[in-house]
Structure 1
Amino acid sequence: MKLQLTRPIIFFDIEATGLNISSDRIVELCFIKVYPNGNEESQVIRFNPGIHISAEASAVNGIYDSDVADYPYFKDKAGELAAIFQGADLAGFNSNKFDVPLLVEEFARAGADFDISKCRLVDVQTIYHKMEQRNLSAAYKFYCNQDLTNAHTALADTKATYEVLQAQLDKYGEELHNNVEWLAEFSRQNKNVDLAGRFVYDEQGTPVFNFGKYKGQSVADVLQRDSGYFGWMMQGDFTQDTKQTLMRLRLNTATR
Structure 2
Amino acid sequence: MHSLKLKKPVAFFDIESTGTNVVKDRIVEISVLRALVNGETNIKTWRINPTIPIPPESSVFHGIYDEDIKDKPTFKEVAHDIFRFFEGADLGGFNVLRLDIPLLVEEFLRVDLDFNLDSRKIIDAQKIFHLMEPRSLPAAYKFYCQKELENAHSAEADTVATFEVLCAQVERYSGVAIKDENGKDYTPVHNDMQKLHEITAHKLVDLAGRMVLNDKGQEIFNFGKHKDRLVTEVLDKEPAFYDWVMKGDFPLDTKRKLTEIKLRNSFRRR
**TM-score calculated relative to the size of structure 2:** 0.92
In 1, Cα distance between the equivalents of 2:49 and 2:154? 17
Structure 2 equivalent of residue 241 of structure 1: 253
- Tell me the alpha carbon deviations over residues 205-228 of structure 1, each in whole angstroms, 9 at most, x when there is no partner: 211110001111111111112111
> Is structure 2 residue 88 aligned with structure 1 residue 100?
no
- Which of residues 185, 204, 208 is equivalent to 1:192? 204
Is contact 2:125–2:162 with CA below 8 Å preserved after alignment? yes
> How many Å apart are 1:41 and its aligned residue?
1.1
Structure 2 equivalent of residue 180 of structure 1: 193
Structure 2 equivalent of residue 75 of structure 1: 76
Structure 1 equivalent of residue 184 of structure 2: none
Is contact 1:86–1:114 with CA below 8 Å preserved after alignment? no
Structure 2 equivalent of residue 224 of structure 1: 236
Is contact 1:82–1:113 with CA below 8 Å preserved after alignment? no
Is contact 1:79–1:113 with CA below 8 Å preserved after alignment? no
For structure 2, the 5+ residue unaligned runs are 177-188
> How many Å apart are 1:187 and its aligned residue?
2.1
After TM superposition, list the pairs within 5 Å mapping 1:44-193 onto structure 2: 44-175=45-176, 176-188=189-201, 191-193=203-205
- Tell me the alpha carbon deviations over residues 154-207 of structure 1, each in whole angstroms, 9 at most, x when there is no partner: 11101110111111122223232111111111223x711111110011122211
- Tell me the alpha carbon deviations over residues 72-105 of structure 1, each in whole angstroms, 9 at most, x when there is no partner: 1111111222122121011000012211111111
In 1, Cα distance between the equivalents of 2:7 and 2:234? 41
SS at match of 2:98: helix
Q: Alpha carbon RMSD of aligned pairs, Å? A: 1.2
More helix by share: 1
For structure 1, the 5+ residue unaligned runs are none
In 1, Cα distance between the equivalents of 2:114 and 2:223? 29
Q: How many residues align?
A: 255
